[in-house]
A and B are shown apart, each in its own frame.
Chain A
């Protein structure tokens, strides 16, 4: 059974339709990449899966349960997390408080402590700055904190909205390495990216959104080779930046 099943999902903001009848299936353990131009509905898709924007029609099923009408906190409790676009770290809180906030629906203090230490082991920069305000972090470090914060919810599905946006090339590679590592440890990932080359390279499956509809879905290697996609997202001759 699929971990995430989005069926005929329609979302609109007032009279503007952001998603129209979108369906996608994400199997447990997969990295699923969603490509698309600005305004194609990528961020809306992630927000609708989390429940931060209501579905006008269609359904979202997660781990066999229909979550379409559930508020975000119930979906987070079931294992869906979103690393929002632009990281959205709470800069008036310390690094550690940000992490703690990620775990706010859990009560198993010893396990929370253990997982927080694991995150510090992974990101030594965060460990050194754990009691400093998150505003002291660089963009790349903030992205690591945003992912760490999402990890603290102990998710089964992590959705990332443009995680490489605005990062230095070194950190872009780090983010994609991290996504691979987390996936190897069993986490399923739904990835929205502008960096099509890298995003297709890590994905098991991919789809292309245009104006709220999925126009191509399938094996990322085949998509990467598709001339239409190369033209639109990879630049002619597939000169993907730092791919």
Chain B
């Protein structure tokens, strides 16, 4: 595999993980605009564990993902009392605060950044992304996915049916934070260097775009969105400096024409019908 191709696929893997971190709360009807903060927690925690405590990478990554999830749960419970645009603002601020904390934390390098000694090769990154996709596919077959849809489409009726709405929302938010932390932890060990400035607003916003573009109705939407946003700019590379302008124009037109995203349930029904429906 060429270095270029490997580089693109590694970026793709991290984008897929980030997309699912954003997708989980969106599937419960909540927008987390601070996903970069949870990636930062995972990245710094894992780097600290391998650098200073000599932990093996896999253990550091898993524990850091758990840590990011715990922080997500602790912060999520109060933050999830807000809804809609207020929740978006609260999580947005949260992401900024977390990255500001690491910017000033001297024990992990502060503004100078933090080199990471242990290295995770591309194959590990690919496997991790595949693992996240597999986990999400598995999750989509469980009752939890049904509750997510119920909470997202009608929280009032979900409550009346006895679904614990806040419980499901907190669980989705926590799982999303965990996936973000997992991605961040791997990122630190693949690129061997992290700095607080990397975990900025754009890192939080782009995955949201992948998910909205791919579609929030099905579990495959985020995957398709991440694929498109990672690979399409590469294909457009030939048209040089105009590629981003054309790309942006295309996104605007696409979202205007198809606000529900690319992959929807009706699309599945169109192509994946198992048996003919009786329509009398």
Give the B-binding residues of A (Cβ under 8 A): 47, 50, 52, 71-73, 75-77, 81-82, 84, 88, 90-93, 97, 100-102, 104-105, 128-129, 131-133, 149, 153
CB contact between B160 and one of A72, A77, A92, A100 (< 8 Å): that residue: A72
* Chain B hits for A84, CB < 8 A: 156-157, 160
CB contact between B153 and one of A72, A81, A92, A102 (< 8 Å): that residue: A92
Known: A90-B153, A90-B154, A92-B217. A72 touches B159 (CB 8 A): yes
Q: Is the CB of B159 within 8 A of A52?
A: yes
- B277 CB within 8 Å of chain A: yes
- Distance in angstroms from A230 CB to nearest chain B CB is 33
Give the residue among B146, B150, B157 with the most A Cβ atoms within 10 A. B157
Contact with A along B157-186 (1 / 0, CB 8 A): 101111110000000000000000000000
User: In whole angstroms, how far apart are the Cα atoms of A54 and B210 in the complex?
Assistant: 41
* Chain B hits for A77, CB < 8 A: 162
> Which DSSP category, helix, strand, loop or mixed, fits chain B's interface?
helix
* Chain A hits for B277, CB < 8 A: 128-129, 131-132
Q: A73-B162, A73-B164, A133-B265 provided; 7 other pairs, C-beta below 8 A?
A: A52-B159, A76-B161, A84-B160, A90-B154, A92-B265, A104-B161, A128-B280
Known: A100-B146, A128-B280. A52 touches B160 (CB 8 A): yes
User: In whole angstroms, how far apart are the Cα atoms of A92 and B150 in the complex?
Assistant: 9
Q: Is the CB of B162 within 8 A of A104?
A: yes
* Chain A hits for B161, CB < 8 A: 76, 81, 101-102, 104, 149, 153
A to B CB contacts below 8 Å, 25 in the list: A50-B160, A71-B164, A75-B162, A76-B162, A77-B162, A84-B157, A88-B156, A88-B160, A90-B150, A90-B157, A92-B149, A92-B153, A92-B265, A93-B146, A93-B149, A93-B150, A93-B153, A97-B149, A100-B143, A100-B146, A101-B146, A101-B150, A104-B146, A128-B280, A133-B265
- Distance in angstroms from B20 CB to nearest chain A CB is 20
Q: Is the CB of A90 within 8 A of B149?
A: yes
- Distance in angstroms from B109 CB to nearest chain A CB is 46
Contact with A along B234-258 (1 / 0, CB 8 A): 0000000000000000000000000
User: In whole angstroms, how far apart are the Cα atoms of A129 and B157 in the complex?
Assistant: 22
Q: Is the CB of A104 within 8 A of B147?
A: yes
- B278 CB within 8 Å of chain A: yes
Give the residue among A76, A81, A92, A149 with the most B Cβ atoms within 10 A. A92
Closest to B152 in A: A92
Closest to A84 in B: B160
Closest to A73 in B: B162
User: In whole angstroms, how far apart are the Cα atoms of A77 and B163 in the complex?
Assistant: 11
User: In whole angstroms, how far apart are the Cα atoms of A114 and B233 in the complex?
Assistant: 53
- Distance in angstroms from A195 CB to nearest chain B CB is 22
Known: A52-B159, A149-B161. A97 touches B146 (CB 8 A): yes
* Chain A hits for B154, CB < 8 A: 88, 90
User: In whole angstroms, how far apart are the Cα atoms of A84 and B156 in the complex?
Assistant: 10
- Distance in angstroms from B168 CB to nearest chain A CB is 11
User: In whole angstroms, how far apart are the Cα atoms of A82 and B159 in the complex?
Assistant: 11
Closest to A129 in B: B277
* Chain B hits for A81, CB < 8 A: 161
* Chain B hits for A92, CB < 8 A: 149, 153, 217, 265
User: In whole angstroms, how far apart are the Cα atoms of A101 and B149 in the complex?
Assistant: 10
Closest to A83 in B: B160
